[in-house]
Structure 1
Amino acid sequence: MNQKILRVGHSPDPDDAFMFYGLAFDYVKIDNYKIEHVLEDIQSLNIRAMKGELEVTAISAHTFPYVADKYYVMRTGSSMGIGYGPLIVSRKYFSIAELKGKKVAHPGELTTATLLTKIYINDIQLHAYPFDEILSAIEKDEVDAGVIIHEGQITYQNLGFKKILDFGELWKEETGLPLPLGLDVVRKDLGHETAVKISSGLKTSIEYGYKNLQDAVTYALKFGRGLSFELGEKFIKMYVNELTIDMGDEGKKALDLLFQKAFEKGLIKYKIDFELV
């Protein structure tokens, strides 16, 4: 039987690479499908998802309301911060109040980090930068502070930056829930049954990574932008956790609340009702 091509978009980051390790090397297979990996930064994947281009893709949680007509949310593969998340950091400012009227770099309009910034902080000037150029922009005084994601969350202190706010801490204190940041979604036109099968395949891939931790982390660190094994493993375990294997009711509730807050602030146009596959 001819295999169908399944294009899977994910970012070239350690946590995503770890999740897809089993599928990338064919240790885990999805019946009747040949996986074709598409590696792009998350903002680019968000834009492609708006057009429904890829059958399966990672997206920012913020992007889902704009693609809910085209994609199911998979119950597996989400990135959720459990009391931690994107940070606002600076070198010369130490509180949110001090940032009033100041320039703050963010990692892209469709990222969840930027949505959280708009939900919680007023009266700042937001400027978009590639996520891996934000710390440099602060250093060069192009901006006064920055919203950082990915491995910058565990390396910023060594580079001389100070944390002003951790959105994951704030969210946990306010809601008691994990903070949804990234999702994996599957196109609805594949059919519900196939979507469930693909979601199950990704779950098996993540479990395979944990059973073969040394090899999976070593592979993932090819995308770690200089992270040591220890820091890489720490970062992966932060964002590939039990809720990544299955977000369950708690993860769904957290996503619902994020979308509700965004709607109430006028940051998304519609209330979102969705199911997990």
Structure 2
Amino acid sequence: MRIAYSPCPNDTFVFHAWAHGLIPGAPKLDVTYADIDITNRLATEAGAPNILKISYAALPWVLTDYALLPCGGALGRGCGPLVLTSSETNDPSVLSGQRVAVPSERSTAYLLFRLWAARHVPGGVGEIVVLPFHEIMPAVRDGKVDAGLVIHEARFTYPTYGLTMLADLGQWWETDTELPIPLGAIIAHRSLDHTAIANWIRQSVEYAWAHPEASREYVLCHAQELSPQVAQAHIDLYVNEYTANLGEKGYEAVSTLLYRASEEGLVPMVDLAKLR
């Protein structure tokens, strides 16, 4: 069974057990490691993997062929994307007409940024530059862009680049909606047995929690030179109760994000019944 997910610590932690044949009865996985911008695109192409980790913001384009699984993804609190600059200002109006680097035009991070900017950046931002997430902070630091939208472990490492947090979009979202922030979704092709796949993923999550040391080498091997401490902080933040089960709050968060985005004309209208 073919699967695509990122090399980030939360994904490798979650899927370690399944990818290493530790889940009884689960089929062998053929893993593709790819940045979220790549998996978002892969999900819309012929011959895509059976299972993918994508942005929740990309769901409207793939729900015809893929189903959202109720586990394995990333939602949470205190884990949203950050808007970073090289200046010390906390005034969002400085982004008016400026160049901003983002990790994907169909990422949840970018969708939240557009919803936030519509309220806080007079006249809107200028050029949007798509970069792999690990290239964004150096680009801001080096003056290649005026600001950057960052995700993942950049929450913990941006001060080492001399950057300033202009906005925490997760905090904004949580204050505005009282809901967790939906970041990464796990989807499976509609031709497959979703109940079985969800069960294998949950077993992989539970194995990871029960044996946290077992995945350490695998996680660090793919963690793009992160220290063990930063990799663990990343896992602690993004692997939580919603990873094991979206639950009612999780589904409400996803529905709210996609509904608001469609109302703003940022994504196609979604039949919310297709989310379950």
TM-score by length of 1: 0.92
1:166 matched to which residue of 2?
A: 168
Cα deviation per residue 1:155-210 (whole Å; 9 max; x = unaligned)?
102321111111110111011110001000010012xxx11100110111011011
Distance in 2, Cα, partners of 1:272 & 1:166? 29
Residue in 2 that maps onto 1:182: 184
User: Whole-Å Cα distance in 2 between the matches of residues 271 and 95 of structure 1?
Assistant: 34
The partner residue of 2:54 within 36, 59, 65 is 59
Structure-1 residue corresponding to 2:19: 24
Is the CA contact (8 Å cut-off) linking 2:55 and 2:108 kept in structure 1?
A: yes
The alpha-carbon deviation at position 30 of structure 1 amounts to: 4.1
Q: Displacement of 1:271 after TM fit?
A: 2.9
Q: Does 1:95 align with 2:113?
A: no
What pairs up with 1:217-232 in 2 under 5 angstroms?
217-232=216-231
Instruction: Please give the secondary structure, in 2, of the residue aligned with 1:214.
Output: coil
Give the Å deviation of 1:218: 3.5
RMSD: 1.4
Matches of 2:231 and 2:253, distance apart in 1? 26
1:142 equivalenced with 2:144 (yes/no): yes
Q: 1:108 aligns with which of 104, 110, 124?
A: 104
1:41-73 deviation digits (Å, cap 9, x = unpaired):
111111110125111111111111100001111
Correspondence for 1:3: none
Q: State the aligned residue count.
A: 268
CA contact (8 A) 1:259 1:272 kept: no
Deviations 1:87-128 (A, max 9, x none): 001111432122111111111111111111111104112221
Distance 1:78 1:276 in 2: 14
2:121 is matched with none
Match of residue 44, structure 1, among 38, 45, 49: 38
Separation of aligned partners in 1, 2:86 and 2:101:
13
Matched to 1:137, the amino acid is A
Percent identity between the two aligned chains? 31
Structure 1 partner of 2:195: 196
Counterparts of 1:276 and 1:268, CA distance in 2: 15
1:6-31 superposed Cα distances (whole Å, 9 cap, x missing partner) = 10111111111001010111111444
Provide the secondary structure at the position in 1 that maps to 2:235: helix
Residue 67 of structure 2 contacts residue 188 of structure 2 at CA under 8 Å; is this kept in 1?
A: yes
CA contact (8 A) 2:21 2:28 kept: no
Could you say what secondary structure the match of 2:43 adopts?
helix
Q: Secondary structure at the match of 2:185?
A: strand
> 1:15 maps to what in 2?
10
Opposite residue 97 of structure 1, the aligned amino acid is S
Contact 2:103-2:110 within 8 A present in 1 as well: yes
Question: Partner of 2:115 in structure 1?
Answer: 119
Instruction: Give yes or no for contact 1:14–1:222 (8 Å, CA) kept in 2.
Output: no
After TM superposition, where is structure 1 displaced by more than 2 Å over at least 4 residues in a row? 274-277
For 2:172 and 2:25, locate their aligned partners in 1 and report how far apart those are by CA, in whole Å: 39
